[in-house]
Structure 1
Amino acid sequence: MTMRILTPRSATLAAVVLSTALVLTACAGGSGSGSGSAGEPSGETRSVKADNGTIEVPVDPQRVVTIGNTTLPFIDLGGTPVGVTEEPAADVERLPEDQQSTYASATVLAASADEVDMEELATLKPDLILVQIPDDEFGLIEKQLTTIAPTVFFGLDTEWKGLADGVAEAGNATDALGDQKAQFEERRTEIQEKYSDIIKSTSFVDVIRWTSSDPGTFAIADIGCSEIARDEIGLNLPEAAEGDDPLAWTSLSFEQLGELSAYDVITYPVDSEGQPTEPFVPVVETNTWKALPAVTSGHALGVFCPGNNSYGSVLRYLDSLDSALATLPTAE
C-alpha cells in the first residue's frame, strides 16, 4: 500500500522536535539486534551506505525504530524495534508467533509514515531509525528524523535482498543474515534440482485476488511471491513486459477464468492451514474454476505466501512451494 506523507505540521512542532532531540544522549553500543534494552553507550560509530548517503550509525544499536517496509525485515533478522509504523493485521498474522510477539512489544507510532508524531518518536530515544518509503515522501520528513537519530533510508526500488543486506548492516545483524542466506541458497538449489524436469517442461500461472478487488474479479500475479518462484526457482510464469505495470494490477472478470486452461499448472493463495485465502474463496466457488483442466486433474496448487520482503518469509514460502510441487504426478 502506498503511504502518504504529511508535510511538517508547523514550525512550532519542528521546534519541539528539535529541542527534544537535542537533550537525547548520543546513542551507541548494545546487543547488535536492536533489542531495545538499554546498554552503556560507547560512542563508537561506523559508516553504512544507504539511499540517503553515507550514514554514521552506532556500532551496536540498542534502540531501533523502523518506519515503512523495514519493520518486518528487521524483526525477521532477530531485531526488536522499540517503535514501528503499523503493519497490516493480515501480514502480522502470517508471522511466526515469536515475531508476532516482538511486533506487539513495540510502540506503534502511526498507521503510516506521514502520521508519525515526531515528538513521540523522540521520546523513545532511538539510536537508529530505519526507513523504506517512497523517495518523495521521505524528503518531507528527512530533516525531522535525522534530527532525532541517525536515519538509514532505502527507496522502494531497493529489492528485498538489498533491503535485507542494508537493514542487517545498519542494525548489526549480519550474522543472522548470513545464516538465512545460507539456508536460502540450500533450499533454492534443492528445489531446482528436485523439480528440474517440471521446471523445464511446465507452464505455470499464479493467480490472486486482493482484499480490495472488485466483486467478480481476480488477477494474474507477477509480483510478490510469484517473483520468487519465477526469478529464484525458474518457474515459467507470465510477467508484465518491461516498463509496463504489473499484471497483478489489472482486474480480470470471473468470465476470464477459462483462459487459465492454457496453462499446465495453476498456483493460488492459501493460508497457513492450506485453505484458500478469504479474498480468493469466491474464485474457487465458481463453476468456471471447478471446470478448469488444472483443477480437475489436481494441478491447481495452493501455496502459502507469508511475504517476500525478507529471507525468513521467503524460506517459508519455498517450503510451501516445495510441498505443492511434490503433489504433481511427475514429481520425484
Structure 2
Amino acid sequence: MTTTPSRRQGAALAAALLSVTLVLSGCGEESTSDDAGTTTAATRTVTADNGPVEVPADPQRIVTIGNTTLPLIDMGGKPVGVTEVGASELGLIPQEQKATFEAATTLGASGDQVDMEKLAGLKPDLILAQLPDTEFEQIKKQLESVAPTVFWGLDVEWKELADGLSQAGNVAEGLSGQKAQFQEKIATIQKTYSALIADTKFVNLDRWESSDPGTFSVADFGCVEIAQGDLGMNFPKAAEGADPLGWTSLPFEQLAELSKYDVITYPVDAAGQPKAPFAPVVATNTWKALPAVKSGRALGVFCPGNNSYGPVLQYLDSLGTALATLPAKG
C-alpha cells in the first residue's frame, strides 16, 4: 500500500523533492522521490463516467454516495460518510459490514439529498458516487469543490464498477481475493453441471413489493445475469436493445405457459423460504400444477444482490446447492 509523504520543514529538503509520473495498471500516478531514492505515490488518475480524475493514492477519508457504499464496504473499505441504504439491503450483509456502515456519518437519503455542509465538515479526501446522471449533474460542482469526485452512472456493469471502486478507493487487495473465489465457483459449477447447462431450458421468475396484485415477471436482470453470462445457462432474455423482460407484469394465469421450461428458478430469502412478494405465486394452483414444480424442478435461489462480488458469491453458493437437488431426468 502506498502512502502520502509527510510534510517536512526546510527549504533545502523541499527543493530536493522531485515530482515524477508513473503509469501503473493503466492509471497515472503522480509521485515524489526523496534524496534517499524512495519513491512514494501521492496521487493516481482513475477514469470513470466523469472522465479522468486525480485522486489520492491512499485515500483515508472516503465518502460514498448512492450505490457505491455497499460495494466499497464489501471490499474492505471504511467510508467516513454515506448516503442511506434500505433496511432490507442492510439485513442481507454480514454483521461486520453493517457495523462499518453504521459507524459512518449519514449525509442524506439519496444522492440528490446530500447535506453539503455536513459533507464538507467530514473533510473527505475522495468522493465516490453512483446515481442517475441527472442527479449527479445537479450536485457535481458542489461535490468537486469539496474533494476529488469519481462518478459512475447506473448503466455501468457491476464488475466494471467493482474494478473502478477498488482502484479509486485503494482496496484492490480485497477485490483480488473475491475475484479468485468468483472464478473458482464459476468453474466448479460449469464442470459439475456441464451436461445440465448444455441441455436444460431454464426460466427465472420474480415478483416485487411494487408489483400489481395477481402478477409476476419473467426476470432477466439481477443475479440471473450471472447465470446467463458467466455460467452460460439458457434463460430467456430480452433481445438486444429491447426493454428487459422483467419490466413486463404477467397475470398469474400465464404461469401455465411455463410448462415448456425444464427448470424454474425463483427468489427465496436466506432461510430458503419464498420471498414475501413472491409467496402469492407459489400459493396458486396454477403454480402447483406446473410440471417443473410437481417433479421437484422448481428451485428457490437466494440473491442478496448483484452489484458486488460478496453478494454474487452467496448467489453462486445458493445456485450450486439448488442445482444439486435436481432429480435425474426420467
TM-score, length basis structure 1: 0.86
Moved over 4 A (4+): 27-30
- Structure 1 Cα separation of the partners of residues 205 and 105 of structure 2: 36
RMSD: 1.7
Once the two structures are superposed, residues 147-201 of structure 1 have per-residue CA deviations (whole angstroms, 9 ceiling, x without a partner) of 0011011122210000000000000011111111111111101101100000000
Select which of 38, 51, 54 maps to 1:53: 51
Give the match for residue 305 of structure 2. Answer: 307
- Once the two structures are TM-superposed, the CA of residue 276 in structure 1 deviates from its matched residue by 0.5
Contact 2:223 2:306 in 1 (8 A): yes
Select between 273-282 and 97-106 the one with higher mean Cα deviation. 97-106
| AA aligned opposite 1:84 | V
Select which of 179, 185, 188 maps to 2:186: 188
1:295 aligns with 2:324: no
- Structure 2 Cα separation of the partners of residues 126 and 181 of structure 1: 28
Change (3 A) 1:70 1:164: same
- Structure 1 Cα separation of the partners of residues 5 and 220 of structure 2: 42
Once the two structures are superposed, residues 84-126 of structure 1 have per-residue CA deviations (whole angstroms, 9 ceiling, x without a partner) of 1111221111111211221122222111111111111111111
- Once the two structures are TM-superposed, the CA of residue 29 in structure 1 deviates from its matched residue by 8.0
| Match runs of 1:15-34 below 5 Å | none
Give the match for residue 249 of structure 1. Answer: 247
Higher share of residues assigned strand: 2
Contact 2:112 2:136 in 1 (8 A): no
- Structure 2 Cα separation of the partners of residues 43 and 29 of structure 1: 8
Q: Which runs of 5+ in 1 are unaligned?
A: 1-26, 31-41
Q: Secondary structure at the match of 2:209?
A: coil
- Greater CA radius of gyration, 1 or 2? 2
Contact 1:209 1:280 in 2 (8 A): yes
Q: Secondary structure at the match of 2:328?
A: coil
Q: Which runs of 5+ in 2 are unaligned?
A: 7-39
Once the two structures are superposed, residues 290-331 of structure 1 have per-residue CA deviations (whole angstroms, 9 ceiling, x without a partner) of 111111100000000010111111111000000000001239
| AA aligned opposite 2:212 | D
Give the match for residue 12 of structure 2. Answer: none
Select which of 110, 118, 121 maps to 2:119: 121
Select which of 71, 80, 83 maps to 2:81: 83
| AA aligned opposite 1:233 | L
Give the match for residue 103 of structure 1. Answer: 101
Tell me the percent identity: 65
The structure showing larger relative contact order (alpha-carbon pairs under 8 Å, at least 6 residues apart) is 1
Give the match for residue 235 of structure 1. Answer: 233
Change (3 A) 1:28 1:51: farther
| AA aligned opposite 1:169 | Q
Contact 1:258 1:292 in 2 (8 A): yes
Change (3 A) 1:290 1:89: same
- Once the two structures are TM-superposed, the CA of residue 209 in structure 1 deviates from its matched residue by 0.4
Give the match for residue 205 of structure 1. Answer: 203
Once the two structures are superposed, residues 216-258 of structure 1 have per-residue CA deviations (whole angstroms, 9 ceiling, x without a partner) of 1110110000101111111100001111111111101111111
Contact 1:29 1:61 in 2 (8 A): no
Once the two structures are superposed, residues 251-274 of structure 1 have per-residue CA deviations (whole angstroms, 9 ceiling, x without a partner) of 011111111111100000000000
How many residues were matched structurally? 294
